[in-house]
Structure 1
Amino acid sequence: MRNTRWTRFTHASWASDIDNLLCSQPDTGEQALEICDALARSGAVDVIVVDSVAALTPKAEIEGEIGDSHMGLAARMMSQAMRKLAGNLKQSNTLLIFINQIRMKIGVMFGNPETTTGGNALKFYASVRLDIRRIGAVKEGDNVVGSETRVKVVKNKIAAPFKQAEFQILYGEGINFFGELVDLGVKEKLIEKAGAWYSYNGDKIGQGKANAISWLKENPAAAKEIEKKVRELLLSNQDSTPDFAVDGNSEAETEQDF
């Protein structure tokens, strides 16, 4: 880590502790993974994010010529790193998040042709795997201001898998909290929806979702009350029967396909 370049972010609009947010831009995939291992062993950080697995280029590929064949280099690199990282992450209680990308398998006639980069080791070592997809656009007039996003838990060693959630991600802001509050309020019957109109406690709060969101922003006490009720309802349903069925091969198929 002696020659590692670190950058401290100061973007005021990010909803994170930017005073303690560091960024490193290593030269090779091996260097990036060694930095992760050193940080995990140090216990100095709580969360490490690698963005992304597809960009972790092995040293041999960087030093080689364009067009050279490097079959399986990235997969071997990730496999070795996972064996080394697993124990250190457990000892230091550090969360390591890998962001990956979807690729298409060539010549697949049956089943899911999608796969992820970096081989199979990351799939097997991961405690939780989330499939995140953009399913639409959020618009204000003709301008696209965000993305409708769906997240599905395709693997979970610590809780029930195959749950999914949908929410909006607004550019420059992050997850649309008030939009999610409106959706969950309607789902849990705390907010009434009749046509395009939204109502709360019998009073109309806006025509259209955008106006309902604006009302919640202008009435933080009501928004806090709805949030509290939604959390209570969701937590009370945690012990209910999961809304999915899993046969003997479902988990194995999920491991292979994603």
Structure 2
Amino acid sequence: MAKKSFDNFLEEIKSKFGDDVIPEPAIKSISTGSPSLDICTEIGGIPMGRITTIYGAPGAGKTTLALSIAREAVQSGNNVLYVDAENKLDIEYAEYIVGAKHNQKDEKFIIVQPNTAEDALNVLGLGIESKKFSLVILDSVGALAPKKEKDEVDFEKRDVALIPSLFTKFVRIYFHQINANNVAVVIVNQVRAKIGSYVGGYSTPGGYALEHASSLNIMLSKAEDLKEGDAIVGNLVKYVIKKNSNGKSFRTNTYPLIYGKGIDKLKDIVNFAKELGVITLSGPLYKFEDEKLGLGLQATLEYLSNSSETLDKIKKMCYNTVNKLNLFELEE
């Protein structure tokens, strides 16, 4: 049989397998709500059409970061599906951080609390298939309970690798659709101590399939407390980009998390810009290039809150400095 030749190979592929097998030239993103973290990812946040994993110890701020990403998505006109596998999400807090009521007719912010791991992954899959949501979030892998465990209720029996096998299947089924439908998938995960290990450390539930499938892995940990007088009002959250398929891995910094309010975006970018030398200090005076911003941090924050043009220039300069690229031209 003679081999078939093609005048246009790409058109032949599209006609047989569909347009969605051809990747888009540029990856779109959703902001994390932390300007410094957005800059460190190199694409302005978490990638769309990809899986992002956020993990860390208890109290590290994983859920708040996930909700912060949800807020950015909603504010950009996108719909969000939040699968609360832990069944302990503070709904009022979630609505406050996201800035939208849940489960309304407009379906901007949907919260689901499934019973089993299978239900959670099925709901997540339906959200991906629906093309209705630009962001789907699972919180968290460590809380997933397979149906077999719940049905048998045998605490002496150890079922091995049930969750990893579910995620292996989930990745195989939905990996292409996540990309084709351009859905950002955020998987929140916990950590487990490595019992018996000579070097200690931790592992994450979900198995290697989830680690391989994730384009962006962000590890969070609690850093120093933030105080107003003697009162602790928040803490710095340290992030480490453990894996980044769209940029450099192992970039690390902190962002300020204020209890009950979420990430302080303005303070985050000012601290980050100061660390990079984009904002300079002359005594207590904060300066950006030849522009005086304020005497002290608080005055600087107030000035920038009313000067969006200067703030935008600072963000662009930070991006160019971190990534050593002139992707943004600063206007005169």
**How does the TM-score come out when normalised to structure 1?**
0.78
Deviations 1:36-92 (A, max 9, x none): 111111101000010000011100011112412211111111111111121221121
Partner residue of 1:104 out of 193, 215, 221: 193
Partner residue of 2:151 out of 63, 67, 77: 63
The match for 1:122 is 210
CA distance in 2, matches of 1:203, 1:162: 32
Secondary structure of 2:96's aligned partner:
coil
Aligned residues: 227
The match for 2:52 is none
CA distance in 2, matches of 1:137, 1:28: 36
Residue 235 of structure 1 deviates from its aligned partner by 3.0
Greater relative contact order structure (CA < 8 Å, 6+ sep): 2
- Decide whether the 8 Å contact of 1:49 with 1:98 is kept in 2: yes
CA distance in 1, matches of 2:142, 2:317: 40
The match for 1:50 is 138
CA distance in 1, matches of 2:154, 2:274: 55
Partner residue of 2:129 out of 37, 41, 44: 41
Partner residue of 2:268 out of 163, 172, 180: 180
Give the unaligned 5+ runs of structure 1.
207-211, 242-258
CA distance in 1, matches of 2:209, 2:317: 38
CA distance in 1, matches of 2:257, 2:130: 34
Identity over the aligned pairs, expressed in percent? 22
The match for 1:205 is 295
Deviations 1:196-239 (A, max 9, x none): x3434567523xxxxx23552366334x3542232232232355
- Decide whether the 8 Å contact of 1:75 with 1:121 is kept in 2: yes
Change (3 A) 1:189 1:94: closer
CA distance in 1, matches of 2:311, 2:154: 54
CA distance in 2, matches of 1:153, 1:219: 28
Greater Cα offset, 225-234 or 23-32? 225-234
Residue 108 of structure 1 deviates from its aligned partner by 1.3
CA distance in 2, matches of 1:134, 1:239: 26
Q: 2:320 matched to 1:233?
A: no
**How does the TM-score come out when normalised to structure 2?**
0.61
Greater Cα offset, 121-130 or 83-92? 83-92
CA distance in 2, matches of 1:52, 1:83: 20
CA distance in 1, matches of 2:206, 2:223: 25
Greater Cα offset, 224-233 or 142-151? 224-233
Residue 143 of structure 1 deviates from its aligned partner by 2.2
CA distance in 1, matches of 2:241, 2:272: 19
Deviations 1:130-159 (A, max 9, x none): 011111211222322112111111111122
CA distance in 2, matches of 1:219, 1:179: 10
Residue 120 of structure 1 deviates from its aligned partner by 1.5
Residue 166 of structure 1 deviates from its aligned partner by 0.9
Secondary structure of 2:120's aligned partner:
helix
Give the unaligned 5+ runs of structure 2.
1-82, 326-332
- Decide whether the 8 Å contact of 1:186 with 1:193 is kept in 2: no
Partner residue of 1:139 out of 223, 227, 232: 227
CA distance in 1, matches of 2:305, 2:212: 44
Residue 240 of structure 1 deviates from its aligned partner by 2.7
| Corresponding letter in the other structure for 1:199 | Y
CA distance in 2, matches of 1:234, 1:95: 25
RMSD in angstroms over aligned alpha carbons? 2.7
| Corresponding letter in the other structure for 1:13 | Y
- Decide whether the 8 Å contact of 2:293 with 2:304 is kept in 1: no
